[in-house]
Amino acid sequence: MKIAVLGTGYVGLSTGVCLSQIGHYVTCIDINEQKINQLRQGISPIYEPGLEELLSANMAAGRLHFTTSLHQALVGVEIIVVAVGTPQGDDGAADLSYLVQAAKDISSYVTSKTIVVIKSTVPVGTNDFIGNLIEDQCGFKVKMVSNPEFLRQGSAIEDTMKADRIIIGSEDNEAAGKIHDMYRPLNVPVILTSTRSAEMIKYAANAFLATKISYINEIANLCEAVGADVTDVAKGMGKDKRIGEAFLNAGIGYGGSCFPKDVKALLHTAGLNGVNFPLLKETIAINEYQREILVKKTLKRFGGLKGKKIAILGLAFKPETDDMREAPSIPISRALTKYGAEVIAYDPVATKNARQIIGDIIKYAGSIEEAIFEADAVLIVTEWKEVKNIDIAAMAGKMKEPIIIDGRNCLPEEKIRACSSIEYYPIGKPPIII
């Protein structure tokens, strides 16, 4: 099939590359000329494992193209996939301005046979709204399909090629069938729904996962109070098939581009429709508290932080991405410096993006060794592989005081206990002090 994808962010670029990988002819469009020139050279503007290899291979095969020209991309295409950003607005609602502009842009090119697929995360009713907007511009009925994405940053390619399910929502059976055919080479489960149900599935899924994270973090805080171990508790819970093990890792809360804004957007939708949703309010409140729990632990240990050198390991909101959106490292860094600490941070890929958000209130190291040297304490914020695999005894020897506060519970307990002198403070379990 001949497909155009509007937007080359995480969702648009991953989608375009994977659709070309399964045999379709895809043109990705973006208004950012620098980004398009970079992509034409086979260079991905985002860090995503495996993406550049597939990008280059499909460009070489002639199935994948990049352009800033709507005319070049949209004339004669069968399917237009819209994957532009829907950031959070000041009131918590999704900002649809990029989507509205995309609808206006494509309205001159759609035909009665063109299928418009909205892959962006949007509030219930948005497909109807955008469909009407396009129809007002072009003068005929447009085939609309809601096809929400369920990609995890750091594993977007695998999540596309080996999806748990694909949701296709439409009131047009022919259009839904064609999108089903588009994905058929993936050989993954497909669920056909109404448009509004498809829109709701995305928000309901992300809000549930966010709530699950906040729940286990509250259990972790209770475990600390009563002397239990949240790792054991989560393992015991997760073996129950009704609960499952995923998203039961206690830590410092959720971040990224999806969970924070999607929970707030769903809460906003509930409010607009007169539905009280206190569970979501509490999910948000718990997460806000949890994001700075490492700071509270550090303050409790030292009493005051003025003049203390604190090393932060990991800045991205999760491993295998350079995304800093809603990363816990942001409020942690700001709070530590507010209390007078000297903060030096290390991240293998996110430093450039972190500088733009956190700025020069902290220092940035080029290695773990540089960050931890003569540090009074180390705070583990992102569980990168090189952080999890660090030589703990050697790290302790380089620090001024061997104090580790682990926000991800990612260091092996047996290696900690093998150290001759260390203070280790995890989340939701007793500290180890040797």
Q: Cα angle at 255 between 426 and 166, to 5 degrees?
A: 120
Distance, CA of 304 to CA of 340 (rounded, Å): 8
Q: What is the DSSP string of 394-428?
A: HHHHHSSS-EEEETT--S-HHHHHTSSS-EEE-SS
| Rg of the chain over all Cα atoms, to the nearest angstrom | 24
Contact 3, 25 (CB under 8 A): yes
138 catalytic, yes or no? no
Choose the catalytic residue: 18, 28, 258, 410.
258
The two three-digit tokens of residue 306, written as one number: 């003025």
Alpha helices, H only, 139-172: 156-161
- DSSP SS3 for 315: coil
Q: Cα angle at 332 between 328 and 337, to 5 degrees?
A: 155
Please, which residues bridge with residue 145 across strands? 117
- Strands 423-425 and 432-433, by their bridges, are antiparallel
The two three-digit tokens of residue 421, written as one number: 């002198």
Q: Where are the beta strands (DSSP E) in 170-326?
A: 190-193, 309-313
Distance, CA of 39 to CA of 12 (rounded, Å): 13
Active site residues: 258
